Structure 1
């Protein structure tokens, strides 16, 4: 009997098999995106490399190197997605989903390096303009570079948002920066064809500024994930779901956090203090069930059940000095 009471009023965890399968499918989708985008960007870089040899364009060489680097960002992300599929163990009790956030940091650093290289090349060409051969071919290669990168960017960002992967979204933003660099090459080639060689470095500087804005967005995305930030609308939705469970009188603290591209929840609900242990347990299980199935991308929930009443009773008096940090945030 004591064991039953303890179980009813301590955290209870439920991990839906369907949600686990969904999480594995999300990782599989992420790996497919990385494989497809890797092939597209490697083909794009190969086409550009051939034209670099024919034209001697330093700008196109830089763009080709950027595309190659962008393709290689698939490597840390693929490792992260593969690690995320591993089961939790006694050392990594929440699993390996955080590997995606580490990959996101690497991607943000690559975007920063891309911005620095683009700015450096633009300033160098501004101080020492380079003659460009076959500007028509260079322009065609620039269009190919932009098209390849923009397609990959849209693909990565769309799937990244669908599966909740901040790292994949950041990688899509990185691809977009390389597409901007390709546009700089295109405009530079147009300037060279019109007899305005300084057009290339000037546009390159403007594109560097655009890359910095993309860097800001990607860094903010990864920073929020590292700091366990979630959309407040998700917290509101979780509270509504819990409040709608029969037997729940009030909703206490609701905490959500991303681990990789899956959400985890820790919540408190209050039930009638006269409710039986068996009934209180059933309410907790139903609350978990509703959360896991109604809150998008939530893989697991831990529900703590507290008695509501009698008036004046403090069931956590012994913990009062330890629970200040756990106050509910409105």
Structure 2
């Protein structure tokens, strides 16, 4: 039976809308983070706090991650063609790699500055302003983190979720700067670079989480619960006797499926095709963020029949 594929116009419109939401999130969060970083930068110059410098650099890096993501969301709107037959959604995963590299660079720079200040401790000026800047950094980053993670999960964007995790870590590292400021106020200037090193460690943890998220997408990993849900949807379709293999993959922030169903071997081609269309229709409407599905129908019977005998030698295990 020839596989049947169907792109829903409604799903296409939804995909465009999710890209638009992603662009809105990036624009708003970029403005918030750049404002936060600008305020902190002024206080860094006035205070000489290396911990606050590390936090400011991280905020700037976090804001700049909006650039590759915005490019990816823009590319993802392009229609598929004969060269890119699945469209340009993978650009989002490539942007995720850029985000991981930016996080890595911010960790290295923050660590370098902290070690340099450990070797050459200096007094911190305007401790009260450093504490205020740390609080501003926390509030700005936590708001951005919640916004990015919420929308990223709603539209299925791993890159946007990774970016949100990055912002959340920035928020907690901003609070850590308060410890450095407190230590300096108590006469322990070494507290500032020590907190700078702790911030570097925190950045490394979020780097690990973001790298894992992007790695899963690049390897076509999906939540097993989505596979279970797809199998249950297919099993409820009238005419489907059994459900064969179910493969799901993310392309950008939309899901694509390739599934096999078994129908009565005495069923006509027209009827089998109708079952495949209904199975596809159910999947597209009932499985969240699924944009397209390819359904292959196999005959269930007669007993001991092997309808794929000629393909056995070509299938890898």
Match of 1:186 among 178, 189, 209: 178
Match of 2:237 among 240, 245, 250: 245
Distance in 1, Cα, partners of 2:180 & 2:48: 14
- CA separation of 1:297/1:32 partners in 2, compared to 1, >3 Å: closer, same or farther? same
> What's the TM-score once normalised by structure 1's chain length?
0.93
**Residue in 1 aligned with 2:47?**
55
Divergent runs of 4+, >4 A: none
Distance in 2, Cα, partners of 1:144 & 1:168: 23
**Residue in 2 aligned with 1:318?**
310
TM-superposed deviation, 1:273: 0.6
Q: Are the counterparts in 1 of residues 57 and 110 from structure 2 also a CA contact under 8 Å?
A: no
Match of 1:257 among 249, 257, 270: 249
Match of 2:287 among 289, 292, 295: 295
TM-superposed deviation, 1:213: 1.6
Q: Are the counterparts in 2 of residues 192 and 199 from structure 1 also a CA contact under 8 Å?
A: yes
Question: Is the deviation greater in 66-75 or in 294-303?
Answer: 66-75
TM-superposed deviation, 1:167: 0.4
Distance in 1, Cα, partners of 2:296 & 2:316: 17
Distance in 2, Cα, partners of 1:73 & 1:169: 12
Distance in 2, Cα, partners of 1:238 & 1:89: 28
Question: Is the deviation greater in 221-230 or in 171-180?
Answer: 171-180
1:206 maps to 2:198:
yes
Distance in 2, Cα, partners of 1:130 & 1:30: 43
TM-superposed deviation, 1:62: 3.2
Match of 1:175 among 139, 162, 167: 167
Distance in 1, Cα, partners of 2:308 & 2:264: 16
TM-superposed deviation, 1:247: 0.3
TM-superposed deviation, 1:17: 1.2
Distance in 2, Cα, partners of 1:234 & 1:44: 39
**Residue in 2 aligned with 1:68?**
60
**Residue in 1 aligned with 2:13?**
21
Distance in 2, Cα, partners of 1:94 & 1:30: 20
Distance in 1, Cα, partners of 2:25 & 2:243: 39
Number of residue pairs matched by the alignment? 317
> What's the TM-score once normalised by structure 2's chain length?
0.96
1:143 maps to 2:135:
yes
- CA separation of 1:36/1:169 partners in 2, compared to 1, >3 Å: closer, same or farther? same
SS at match of 1:14: strand
**Residue in 2 aligned with 1:6?**
none
**Residue in 2 aligned with 1:105?**
97
**Residue in 2 aligned with 1:126?**
118
Match of 2:275 among 280, 283, 289: 283
Match of 2:34 among 42, 53, 60: 42
**Residue in 2 aligned with 1:4?**
none
Q: Are the counterparts in 2 of residues 112 and 215 from structure 1 also a CA contact under 8 Å?
A: yes
Distance in 1, Cα, partners of 2:4 & 2:316: 23
- CA separation of 1:211/1:61 partners in 2, compared to 1, >3 Å: closer, same or farther? closer
Distance in 2, Cα, partners of 1:53 & 1:109: 27
**1:297-327 CA distance string (max 9 Å, x none):** 10000000111111121111111111234xx
1:152 maps to 2:110:
no
**Residue in 1 aligned with 2:224?**
232
Q: Are the counterparts in 1 of residues 49 and 192 from structure 2 also a CA contact under 8 Å?
A: no
SS at match of 1:324: coil
Q: Which runs of 5+ in 1 are unaligned?
A: 1-8, 326-330
